[in-house]
Structure 1
Amino acid sequence: MTAVIEATSRDLLGYFLRRVRSAEDAADLLGETQLVVWRRVDQLPGEPLEARLWMFGIARRVLSTYRRAGARRIALADRLRQEIEVRGSVAQPVGDGEELRALLLKLSYLDQEIIRLVHWEGFSLAEVATILDKRPGTIRSRYSRARTSLRQAIDDQGDDI
């Protein structure tokens, strides 16, 4: 088990770094994932590739929990802002690839995750299906539609990206 965790930890950290804003949050999410793996060690698949996919599935659920908690914090902050009637906008810094990330956010969460797992993490569509616990045919069709939608959005935006 230790060898599987060590072999996958760097990839999982990269997975989290590409999905959260701070390295500290990514490290915390990696630690939480490793803790879940440790608790569920009796379910760890014996095949290294299957174990890796299983760990990415756990990482995805840990990230989902993190995002739900973040959404609740944001909703609470919004309610507090409304109560004290503080109005204003906060500008978000725009860096490299921000336009593409914004277009990606227009897709459904599942489609975003499929694109990220294929293009950022390097998984095949069959592996993505395993991680997301979906049928391979579903993943293939959603991936195709998501790519078409992204391509169209990029074309609509022009050469700014």
Structure 2
Amino acid sequence: MTTSRAADPTTADPDSAFRELFEATYDDLLLFVERRAYHAVAEDVVAETFLIAWRRLDEVPKPLGEARAWLFTVARNVLHNRQRSDQRQQSLALRVLREPDAPNSTEADLAATRIDLMKAWQRLSSADQEVLTLTAIEDLTGPQAAQVLGISRPAFSLRLLRARRRLRQHLGQRPNSEATNVPAPAGPSRRGGSA
């Protein structure tokens, strides 16, 4: 194990300096993250950590021990950001579907609902997730969210309506659901319709 990444970091080319850092620290970094997350998540976190290291290579300390500590710090921050994002997505599904006059639920009911919501959320397209996230998590108004997506406000409202409908449909497809055989409403309620 070496104590420095390169004999003269000012003359070493960035590609070889990064390659040396990667080879010297990858296994340790992966084990560090795996102790805190699932393997599939750990690989993504390590990849993102090395991407940050590549972009900020001049900030990575030169001694290997200090570089490892720097990478561990970055990986820990990446993992925390990812966990916060996952929690926001779970909260989003609850906020989108919460009914104001729903009766108080037991903890078991809430846990089952959360699992169902996570499964339904995963079945949504990334476009639907983005539309719902902009309003429920990012707290943007309709016009602000439309601006972010580069579309008109009516187009955004339509996308949001459809994304909410699809999320409810996915929830309606869960097993043992009361709503399994009940079709989703097709649109606004009829007022004063003809006989």
Task: Give the TM-score normalised by the residue count of structure 1.
Answer: 0.49
Largest Rg, 1 or 2: 2
Larger RCO (CA under 8 A, 6+ residues apart): 1
